């Protein structure tokens, strides 16, 4: 979980906008406490707050191409970045092992035609200084949050959270999942198209539980890509129990090299939080014991939960009771 903040399509004096971008980006620093970076020119400003997960030493953002003419700020992870690197038609001088740097290489080689090749969760802003062009894109399902708005001068603002736009934007809207905004087009357009979005296209189609199981296991495995310790939230319910059990199966080997080496943190840790004596906590303990994870349990009181509500709503930016 990182954050991005961009000011694009600049129509006012760019001099004070850098300071504004840094001030607004700071409102999202809880998303990325490991690094703060900024790219700025007269036409675009990109700020990034980083939570280091892959290549913690060299993956600071915004990332630049070797000529420093393309700047990229990404929130998310590209799980198939190694396959995409290997598929490039011409060599690219990568500077880091960051999973996100491959976006710069793909843009150089394929323009925007690469978006549907990305297997991951992401929201990014790419600025091309050579063509005074920007791209804003969000993953296929909107797993990573992204919002956009305009200030009184018409400057476009893009950020990971609404709280960074509200102080300056007259209106704020969600950036649609599976879309890309190309400054040459002017409006977000869909890049993600699947037949199964239309029920009639799959009505009466085959269903194979083994295929579903294989796809779920592959999804869990690729999301274990990490150079830092990780854990699984375990409520004791069916969904989290299946995910935890699947993660445990793959936790011992490093997914970055297809399991050829031992994982840096081979023991899976699970976490549960709830009221003392809650049945969910009891179920989580049973699941953790069954799968053999190192389990951690945290309790809170009803009053502590009520006291935390305002902070929860502030960070989630929703009043939806099922989410809270």
Question: Which two three-digit tokens encode residue 211?
Answer: 């295929």
Q: Are 141 and 148 in contact (CB under 8 A)?
A: no
Is the sign of the CA dihedral 18, 20, 26, 27 positive or negative?
Answer: negative
Mark whether 41 is an active-site residue. no
**Mean pLDDT, residues 41-61 taken together:** 82
- Integer Cα distance of 169 and 231 in angstroms: 37
The residues pairing with 262 across neighbouring beta strands, listed in sequence order, are 253
Residue 56 has pLDDT above 70, yes or no: no
Task: Go through the domains of the chain in sequence order and give each one's CATH number.
Answer: 3-195 (3.60.20.10), 206-316 (3.40.50.620)
Cα end-to-end span (Å), the chain = 18
Percent of the chain whose pLDDT exceeds 90? 81
Mean pLDDT score across all residues of the chain: 93
Question: pLDDT tens across 193-231, in order?
Answer: 998 888 998 888 888 999 999 999 999 999 998 888 899
> Pick the catalytic residue: 2, 41, 100, 169?
2
- Which residue from 224, 245, 243, 266 is spatially nearest to 79, judged by alpha carbons? 224
Work out whether strand 45-50 and strand 63-64 pair parallel, antiparallel, or are unpaired: unpaired
Residue 273 has pLDDT above 80, yes or no: yes
- Integer Cα distance of 19 and 27 in angstroms: 13
Question: Which two three-digit tokens encode residue 59?
Answer: 């993956």
**In this predicted structure, which of 13-27, 163-177, 248-262 has the lowest mean pLDDT?**
248-262
Instruction: Strands of 197-321 (E only): list them.
Output: 231-233, 269-274, 294-299
Residue 1 has pLDDT above 80, yes or no: no
pLDDT higher for 190 or 58? Answer: 190
Q: Are 61 and 74 in contact (CB under 8 A)?
A: yes
Question: pLDDT tens across 61-106, in order?
Answer: 999 999 999 999 999 999 999 999 999 999 999 999 899 999 999 9
- Integer Cα distance of 162 and 216 in angstroms: 32
Reported pTM: 0.92
């Amino acid at each position: 979980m990182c954050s991005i903040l961009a000011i694009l399509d600049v129509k006012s004096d760019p001099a004070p906008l850098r300071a504004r971008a840094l001030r607004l980006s700071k409102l999202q620093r809880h998303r990325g406490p490991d690094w703060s970076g900024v790219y700025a020119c007269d036409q675009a400003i990109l700020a990034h707050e980083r939570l280091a997960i892959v290549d913690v030493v060299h993956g600071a953002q915004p990332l630049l191409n070797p000529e420093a003419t393309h700047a990229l700020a990404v929130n998310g992870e590209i799980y198939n970045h190694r396959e995409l690197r290997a598929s490039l038609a011409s060599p690219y001088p990568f500077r880091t092992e960051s999973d996100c740097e491959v976006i710069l290489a793909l843009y150089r080689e394929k323009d925007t035609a690469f978006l549907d090749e990305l297997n991951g969760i992401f929201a990014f802003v790419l600025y091309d200084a050579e063509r005074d062009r920007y791209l804003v894109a969000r993953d296929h399902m909107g797993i990573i949050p992204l919002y956009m708005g305009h200030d009184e001068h018409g400057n476009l603002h893009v950020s990971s959270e609404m709280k960074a736009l509200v102080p300056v934007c007259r209106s704020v809207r969600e950036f649609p999942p599976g879309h890309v905004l190309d400054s040459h087009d002017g409006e977000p357009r869909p890049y993600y198209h699947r037949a199964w979005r239309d029920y009639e296209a799959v009505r009466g189609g085959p269903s194979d539980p083994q295929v579903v199981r294989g796809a779920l296991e592959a999804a869990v495995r690729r999301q274990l890509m990490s150079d830092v310790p990780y854990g699984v939230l375990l409520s004791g319910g069916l969904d989290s129990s299946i995910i935890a059990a699947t993660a445990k199966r793959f936790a011992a080997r490093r997914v970055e090299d297809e399991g050829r080496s031992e994982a840096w943190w081979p023991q899976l840790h699970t976490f549960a939080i709830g009221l003392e004596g809650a049945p969910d906590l009891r179920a989580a303990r049973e699941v953790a014991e069954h799968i053999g994870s190192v389990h951690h349990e945290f309790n809170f009181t009803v009053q502590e939960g009520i006291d935390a509500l305002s902070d929860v709503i502030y960070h989630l930016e929703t009043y939806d009771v099922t989410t809270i």
